[in-house]
Amino acid sequence: MVEADDLGQAGEKLAGLRAAGFTGTAGVLLTEDGARQAARTVQQLQTAIDNIPAPIFSKDADGAYGACNTAFEAYVGVPRERIIGRTVHQIWSPEMADVYAAADQALLDAGGKQVYEAQVRYADGTLHDVTFYKGILTDEHGAVRGLAGAMLDITERRALEDRLRVLADTDPLTGAANRALFTRRLTEAVARAGTQPPAVLLIDLDDFKAVNDSLGHDVGDQFLIAVTARLHDGLGDGDTVARLGGDEFAVLLEDSSRWQVARTVRRITAALGRAVDAGGHPLTPRASIGVAQARPGDSGDDLLRHADIALYEAKDGGKGRYAYHRPGMRTRVVDQSAMLTALRQALTAGRLSVHYQPIVRLDDGQVSGVEALARWRDPARGWVPPTEFVPAAERGGLIAALGEWMLGAVCRRTGPPATYLNTSAHELREPRFADRVAAALATTGLAPSRLIIEVTESAAVEDETVLATLHRVRALGVRIALDDFGTGRSSLSLLVNAPVDVIKLDPAFTARITEDGRHATVARAVARLAGSLGIEAVAKGVETAAQARGVREAGFGLAQGLHVGAPMPGDDLDAYLRDAPEPRSGSGTRPGVRLA
C-alpha cells in the first residue's frame, strides 16, 4: 500500500516500486487532502469535457459506457445516469448497435486509432455529418481496457463542400451544368456507350447581343435563365443541359436512338419558339442548333467537334435552323473558316474596295444616286462574290466591322450623287449605330441628305429595336430606303411605321414584268402607292431594254440594274459622271445609259 498526498505523488511512488523490482499488487491510499484534490481534479476534467460541444465517451473492454459528456447526452437523448454501465445494444436500435459494435471491435482488435465519417441522427431527429475519432485505453502493462472517442460535427463543413462542388460544376447564373461538368459527363457517357450512343446538341442563341445592348444586361440574364428552363422542360431526367459560356448552350442525350434524338431536337425547337418572360419583357428565343451522335471510336472531343461543325452548317443556312453532322461536312466548314480568317485580315489590312452601281432617272437618264457595294479581291481566291463573304461576315461576327468600314468609305466620298449604303439588321440593333453615323458625317463633312441607309424589308420588321434605330438615323437628316420591297411579311405596315423615303422593288417583279400580267399589276400598284405617299420608287434588277420600258410604263421613275449601269470602282464612277453631257430636254440619254 502506497500513501500519497495526491495522484501525482502516488504515481511517482508506484514507479519507484516497479524500478525496485516489485511485481505484486499495490494500492494507493490518499491522504484526506489528497482525496479532496483528486476529487477536484476529476470534477474539473468533467466540467471541461462537458463544455466541449463535441460528444465524448469512453467504454470498457466489454463495451459498457464508462463516461461521457453533456454533448453525448444530447446526442443519445438521455441523462448520463442511463448511459453509464450500458452497452450500445441497450441504447441504440439493433441496426445501429450492430454498426457501432462492429466498429468498436475492429478498433479493439487492431489497436491504435480509428477515424471515420458517418451520418448520425440525434435524439431530436436532426441528421448530422460527423467524424469519429477513437483510440484504445490500456493499463500500465499495455493490456487493452477499453476505448475512448469523440464525435466532431462536420455538417457545416460538408454543406460548404457541397456548395463549393456545385459552384465548381454549375453555371452560377442559370444553374445549368458548366463546361467542366458537361465535358466530364460526356467523357463518361462515351466510355459506357452501348448500342445507342450519346448525342450532343450545341445551341447558339441568335442575336442575343442585341437583347443585352437594347434592353440591358439584367434583362439579358433573365432571358438566359428562362431559356435554360425551356431547355430543361424539353429533356428527360438523365439528360444534361449546360451553359458553355455567353449565349452558347449544350445538351447531352445519353442512350438515345436516332429517332429519339430527332424528337428531342424538334421538341427543343418548338419550346424555344414560344416567348419567355425576361424581366417583364416577352422575348421569343431563336437559336441555331448543331447535332451530332457518337459513332464507334469517337471520343467526347470528337463528338463536340462534330456538333460544332453541324452548328456552323446550321448558321450557314440562316437563323433559327438546325443541322445534323454528316461525313464530309468538315471540309466545307474548314473552307468557310479559312475564308472568314482571310476576310478578317483583309479588313485589318484595308484590302477591301467599294464599287458603285448607278441608279438612274428613267425620264432623262441622269444618275440620281449610286449604291455602294463591298468588293474583295483575295490574293489566293481572286474576286470573292459578296454573296459568299457577306454571309460569312454575318456568321463570324464581322458584319459590324465590315459595315463600319463601308460607312467610313462612303462618307469620305463627298462628291455627288447620293449614296445608298446597305445595312444589316445586326448593325441596326447596335445601340450606338446612329451615333456612329453622326460621327462619320461630322468627320467627313458629308451632307446627311447625301447618305441613304438601305435596309431589307425582312430586317426592318424583325423587332422594335431596328425601327427605333431607323427613326434615330432619319432624325440626323439621313434618308432611309427599303430594299426588296414586296417580298416581306409587313410591307404596307412598314410604310406607316418606318421613316421610309425610298422603296426598291424586288427584282423578282422586274424580271417578269414583261411576261406576267400579275407581276406588272403589282409593280404598277407599288409605284402608285409610293407616289401617293411621296416616296421615291426604284425598280431593281433592270437587265433588258424591255424591262426598262416595262417598269417605266408601270410608273417607276428610277431604275437600277446591269442594263442601266454596272457596278464600277470609284475612279471609274468619277470619270463616268465627269464626262456625261448635260441632259437634253425630253428624254435625253447619256453615254452608257440605255433606256430602251
Those residues with Cβ within 8 angstroms of residue 418's Cβ, 6 or more apart along the chain or in another chain: 368, 369, 370, 449, 450, 451, 452, 479
Whether residue 276 sits in one domain with residue 234 = yes
Q: Please report the sign of the dihedral spanned by the C-alpha atoms of residue 218, residue 224, residue 229, residue 230.
A: positive
Residue 337 domain-assigned (yes or no): no
How far apart are alpha carbons 391 and 388 in whole angstroms? Answer: 6
Specify the 3-state DSSP secondary structure of 264: helix
How far apart are alpha carbons 179 and 245 in whole angstroms? Answer: 8
**DSSP class of 505:** E
* Beta bridge partner(s), residue 2: 28
| Cα-based torsion angle of the residue sequence 582, 588, 594, 596 in order, rounded to the nearest 10 degrees | 170
Domain of 247: which CATH number?
3.30.70.270
Asked if residues 498 and 470 have their Cβ atoms less than 8 Å apart, the reply is: yes
pLDDT at 1: 60
Enumerate residue ranges in the chain where pLDDT < 70: 1-43, 329-334, 414, 457-463, 487-493, 516, 579-596
Residue 247 domain-assigned (yes or no): yes
Specify the 3-state DSSP secondary structure of 361: strand
What percent helix, strand, coil does the chain show, rounded to 5? 45, 25, 30
Whether residue 139 sits in one domain with residue 218 = no
Whether residue 280 sits in one domain with residue 205 = yes
Question: Per the structure, how many domains does the chain have?
Answer: 3
Residue 593 domain-assigned (yes or no): no
Asked if residues 500 and 481 have their Cβ atoms less than 8 Å apart, the reply is: yes
pLDDT at 134: 95
pLDDT at 463: 63
Whether residue 179 sits in one domain with residue 318 = yes
Whether residue 366 sits in one domain with residue 297 = no
How far apart are alpha carbons 9 and 506 in whole angstroms? Answer: 112
Whether residue 320 sits in one domain with residue 295 = yes
Residue 584 domain-assigned (yes or no): no
CA angle 172, 175, 178 (to 5 degrees): 70
Model pTM score = 0.53
Whether residue 283 sits in one domain with residue 223 = yes
Residue 97 domain-assigned (yes or no): yes
Whether residue 419 sits in one domain with residue 545 = yes
Residue 218 domain-assigned (yes or no): yes
Cell of 176: 445549368
Pairing of strands 276-278, 281-283: antiparallel
Whether residue 496 sits in one domain with residue 411 = yes
Residue 364 domain-assigned (yes or no): yes
- What burial class does residue 458 get, using C-beta atoms within 10 Å of its C-beta: 0-12 exposed, 13-18 middle, 19+ buried? middle
Give the closest residue to 191 by CA, choosing from 293, 298, 307, 325.
298
Domain of 388: which CATH number?
3.20.20.450
- Segment (H or E) for 422: strand 418-422
Among 110, 133, 157, the domain boundary falls at 157
Cell of 441: 458625317
Whether residue 102 sits in one domain with residue 219 = no
Whether residue 183 sits in one domain with residue 248 = yes
Cell of 508: 423578282
How far apart are alpha carbons 507 and 498 in whole angstroms? Answer: 22
How far apart are alpha carbons 451 and 369 in whole angstroms? Answer: 10
Asked if residues 557 and 564 have their Cβ atoms less than 8 Å apart, the reply is: no
How far apart are alpha carbons 464 and 501 in whole angstroms? Answer: 19
Three-state SS string across 268-321, please?
HHHHHCCCEEECCEEECCCEEEEEEECCCCCCHHHHHHHHHHHHHHHHHCCCCC
Domain of 136: which CATH number?
3.30.450.20
Residue 310 domain-assigned (yes or no): yes
Asked if residues 181 and 169 have their Cβ atoms less than 8 Å apart, the reply is: yes
End-to-end CA distance of the chain: 139
What is the extent of the structural domain holding 190? 170-327
Cell of 433: 449605330
Whether residue 222 sits in one domain with residue 356 = no
